[in-house]
Amino acid sequence: AQSVTQLGSHVSVSEGALVLLRCNYSSSVPPYLFWYVQYPNQGLQLLLKYTSAATLVKGINGFEAEFKKSETSFHLTKPSAHMSDAAEYFCAVSDSMYSGDMRFGAGTRLTVKP
């Protein structure tokens, strides 16, 4: 089964700075990749997903991610961090044509300093 590895369990940035959250996947075939965000005491909310239509995927709240097959990466970025971006972010992969079975990374907690 495919898996994802998130580099960095904690990332801290200043408000207005670039956000970069790293995710690498293990796959020999193009996977389906996702980024989710989880706010305290809440479920997960989809930020964006890659399903091979385009390598640069734009999501909600100004986030985007680029699929790089040569690097087996799917890093999440946002040009300018906002205080409300503080949360836990999860990268996930599915090797099923259906979306019901996803494998999640360990998560990265993003802190935004004023």
Query: Rule CB under 8 A: which residues touch another protein?
Result: 32, 36, 41-46, 49, 51, 90, 92, 94, 96-107
Q: Which is nearer to another protein, 28 or 98 (CB)?
A: 98
Q: How far is the CA of 59 from the CAs of 29, 36, 78, 113, in angstroms?
A: 23, 10, 10, 23
C-alpha–C-alpha distance, residues 42 and 51, integer Å: 26
Q: How far is the CB of 100 from another protein (least distance, A)?
A: 3
Nearer to another protein, 43 or 114 (CB): 43
**Minimum Å distance from CB 114 to another protein?**
27
The minimum distance between CB 6 and another protein, in angstroms, equals 10
Distant-in-sequence, close-in-space partners of 73: CB < 8 Å, separation ≥ 6: 22, 23, 24, 25, 66, 67
Could you give the CA distance from residue 63 to residue 25 in angstroms, rounded to a whole number?
19
Q: Which of 71, 30, 70, 37 is nearest to 52 (CA)?
A: 30
| Least distance to another protein, CB of residue 72, Å | 19
For another protein, the closer CB: 100 or 114: 100
Q: Judged by CB, which is closer to another protein: 5, or 17?
A: 5
